[in-house]
């Protein structure tokens, strides 16, 4: 019987080092994938919250508008604070409990869509690309296929920007709050 020859240790040192490097590289790739998946899930959740908040703003603007003042006149709010406390009537009437924080930016700042100096809608100031492109509720169909979250405009009535002119209208500048046409850009 022949004696078993063992491979000298000097020849194995680099082999173990390569396995450790491969293991570290695989762990790095796994970590990157986990962060990407978590980031995507977080953005989906923020978009879901954005849709909910946008609908609440739309409903509040609608309630404010549909509440007639003396003389049967209807008007839109001049500021978001008007939705918190409607001073057109005796007593206090609230259409919103608070001005929501934009889930996409983390700030309580919103782009305002104005017609005749009055607020008819709001939108986020985020320039991020939305993940959700399809599958919206009927009142949110105007949000389909938008390239930026800031193009998700919540107006009362929901089809207001479609009625504004030929094609779909979008807010021209958040700072001016005016409504501009997508064809004009």
Q: What is the pLDDT of residue 8?
A: 61
Residue-wise pLDDT tens for the chain (185 aa)? 676 766 666 566 678 889 999 999 999 999 999 999 999 999 999 999 999 999 999 999 999 999 877 777 889 999 999 999 988 888 888 999 999 999 999 999 999 999 999 999 999 999 999 999 999 999 999 999 999 999 999 999 988 775 544 334 444 444 344 433 323 32
User: What is the model's pLDDT at position 59?
Assistant: 96
Q: Is 39 helix (H, G, I), strand (E, B) or coil?
A: helix
Q: What is the pLDDT of residue 179?
A: 39
CB 113 within 8 A of CB 155: yes
Residue by residue, DSSP assigns 108-174 as S--EEEEETTEEEEEE----PPPS--S---GGGGGGTT-SSGGG-EEESSTTHHHHTSSS-EEES-T
Instruction: Quote the pLDDT of residue 5.
Output: 66
CA atoms of 171 and 179, how far apart (whole Å): 4
The residue to which tokens 């700072």 are assigned: 175
pLDDT at 10: 59
Q: Calculate the alpha carbon distances from 65 to 98, 103, 110, 169, 177 in Å.
A: 18, 26, 19, 21, 18
């Amino acid at each position: 019987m022949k004696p078993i020859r063992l491979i000298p240790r000097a020849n194995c040192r680099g082999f173990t080092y390569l396995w450790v490097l491969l293991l570290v590289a695989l762990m790095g790739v796994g970590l990157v994938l986990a962060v990407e998946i978590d980031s995507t899930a977080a953005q989906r959740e923020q978009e879901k919250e954005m849709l909910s908040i946008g609908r609440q703003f739309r409903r509040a603007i609608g309630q404010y508008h549909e509440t007639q003042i003396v003389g049967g006149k209807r008007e839109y709010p001049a500021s978001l604070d008007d939705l918190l406390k409607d001073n057109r009537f005796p007593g206090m009437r609230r259409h919103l409990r608070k001005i929501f924080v934009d889930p996409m930016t983390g700030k309580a700042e919103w782009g305002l869509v104005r017609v005749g100096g009055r607020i008819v809608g709001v939108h986020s100031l985020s320039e991020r690309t939305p993940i959700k492109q399809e599958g919206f509720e009927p009142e949110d169909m105007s949000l389909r296929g938008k390239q930026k979250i800031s193009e998700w405009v919540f107006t009362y009535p929901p089809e207001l920007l479609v009625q504004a002119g030929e094609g779909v209208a979008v807010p021209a500048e958040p700072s001016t709050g005016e409504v501009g046409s997508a064809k004009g850009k």
